[in-house]
């Protein structure tokens, strides 16, 4: 009788303990509101501050989009002039910073060097005791202006070349080519590059942006947040995929080898980089615009091989698996045709995404709540320490 009562009691207690629902990878969880961008998987569309990305890519330059993300409105002519003048005046980095970059190991990945470079910039700009409030917009402009210089300086040193100082008479895209290659390519190439920067600029609560918001939520500074964001972006499931795509295309080499290569991947249950997305399941809103830019580049270069291989992979993945390409899929070969080394692709993503990260850092700071989720414990039950002599 007593036993039955105890069993009943234990059962009732068990029924009361509600197991928390686990949202692995935070999939499907809405953690906050944002007014920076809206991803609409149901219509395969994306807007920045209410403007469709395709519209922005067709009608604006990257600097206008950066202004839009930070200020909420597209700039007037005079606002843009002022914004560009400010950005151009900040492009130089200090002699000491150049020396830091000179001493990076030559074999280090440029994502590791840009991560360290941003962190170094923080040490020179933020004094012990922390960051006074209200400095984020100024710091964001510093990062926007200096990140391309840091990436290009590192690129030149890795190749054993002298650095090219930034020029103030060029747009951000033109100046980046000048600092990397010592020349500005034709306007078709600049336009395609600018489009890629616009498309990569912002994408709501993706892994790296969420990382910057988590770091900001502890009232840490923008350099710490961006350093963390770069670390997150580096991963092959996130920004690193654009590099992986081009490595794959080079491995495939010719359209004739594409189908067999893909079938082997599928047989081995390997991921095909540049395909799939956590949010878009019917196609990435940015792909058609980047694909058109890639087609223009291929025509300009007279090299359509990468497009042909891409089409074979894409047809099979969509028709047989219903898995669509993401932005990294056309961006990888586009950067290849522009002449960049493959390990530069994700750093280029950084020089664009700094705009989105900074917009989210500003938004997080304006309405902050420490981001601190809960976890369900799955380890050993509580136990007592046994003295070492008895273990």
Contacting residues toward ligand COA, per CB under 6 A: 237, 241, 271-278, 323, 326, 328
Pairing between strand 37-40 and 51-52? unpaired
Is position 109 annotated as part of the catalytic site?
no
Structure tokens at 338: 């522009």
- The rounded distance, in Å, linking the Cα atoms of 349 and 329 is 13
CB of 37 to ligand COA, least distance (A): 15
Which residues share a beta bridge with 38? 47
CB of 240 to ligand COA, least distance (A): 8
* Closer of 237 and 299 to ligand COA (Cβ): 237
CB of 370 to ligand COA, least distance (A): 27
* Closer of 143 and 272 to ligand COA (Cβ): 272
* Closer of 117 and 314 to ligand COA (Cβ): 314
* Closer of 126 and 207 to ligand COA (Cβ): 207
Residue bearing tokens 């991560």: 115
- The rounded distance, in Å, linking the Cα atoms of 201 and 348 is 11
Contact assessment for residue 153 and residue 98, using Cβ atoms and an 8 Å cutoff: yes
CB of 265 to ligand COA, least distance (A): 8
Structure tokens at 74: 């597209």
* Closer of 110 and 274 to ligand COA (Cβ): 274
One of 97, 277, 324, 360 is an active-site residue; which one?
Answer: 277
CB of 235 to ligand COA, least distance (A): 9
Is position 203 annotated as part of the catalytic site?
no
* Nearest residue relative to ligand COA (C-beta): 276
- The rounded distance, in Å, linking the Cα atoms of 58 and 61 is 9
Among residues 70, 274, 45, 292, the alpha carbon closest in space to that of 191 is found at 292
* Closer of 142 and 232 to ligand COA (Cβ): 232
Is position 238 annotated as part of the catalytic site?
yes
CB of 322 to ligand COA, least distance (A): 9
Active site residues: 238, 277, 328
């Amino acid at each position: 009788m007593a036993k039955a009562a105890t069993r009943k009691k234990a059962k009732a207690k068990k029924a009361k303990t509600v197991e928390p629902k686990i949202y692995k990878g935070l999939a499907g969880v809405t953690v906050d509101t944002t007014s920076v961008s809206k991803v609409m998987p149901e219509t395969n569309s994306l807007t920045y501050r209410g403007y469709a990305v395709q519209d922005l890519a067709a009608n604006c330059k990257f600097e206008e989009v950066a202004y839009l993300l930070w200020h909420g409105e597209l700039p007037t002519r005079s606002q843009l002039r002022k914004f560009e003048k400010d950005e151009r005046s900040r492009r130089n980095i200090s002699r000491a910073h150049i020396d830091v970059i000179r001493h990076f190991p030559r074999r280090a990945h440029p994502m590791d060097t840009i991560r360290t470079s941003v962190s170094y910039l923080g040490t020179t700009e933020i004094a012990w005791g922390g960051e006074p409030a209200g400095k984020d917009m100024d710091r964001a402009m510093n990062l926007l202006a200096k990140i391309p210089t840091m990436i290009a300086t590192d690129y030149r040193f890795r190749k054993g070349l002298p650095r090219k100082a930034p020029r103030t008479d060029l747009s951000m895209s033109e100046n980046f080519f000048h600092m990397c290659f010592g020349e500005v390519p034709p306007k078709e190439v600049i336009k395609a590059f600018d489009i890629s920067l616009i498309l990569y600029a912002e994408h709501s609560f993706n892994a790296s942006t969420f990382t910057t918001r988590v770091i900001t939520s502890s009232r840490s500074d923008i350099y710490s947040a961006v350093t963390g964001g770069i670390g997150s972006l580096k991963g092959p499931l996130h920004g690193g995929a654009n590099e992986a795509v081009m490595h794959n295309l080079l491995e495939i080499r010719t359209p004739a080898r594409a189908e067999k290569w893909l079938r082997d991947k599928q047989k081995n249950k390997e991921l095909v980089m540049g395909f799939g997305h956590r949010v878009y399941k019917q196609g990435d809103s940015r792909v058609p615009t980047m694909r058109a830019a890639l087609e223009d580049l291929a025509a300009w270069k007279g090299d359509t091989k990468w497009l042909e291989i891409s089409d074979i992979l894409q047809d099979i993945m969509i028709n047989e698996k219903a898995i669509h390409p993401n932005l990294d899929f056309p961006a990888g070969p586009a950067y290849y045709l522009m002449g960049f080394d493959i390990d530069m692709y994700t750093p280029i993503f950084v020089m664009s995404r700094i705009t989105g990260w900074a917009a989210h850092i500003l938004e997080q700071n304006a309405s902050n709540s420490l981001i601190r989720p809960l976890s369900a414990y799955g380890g050993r039950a509580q136990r007592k320490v046994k003295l070492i002599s008895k273990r």
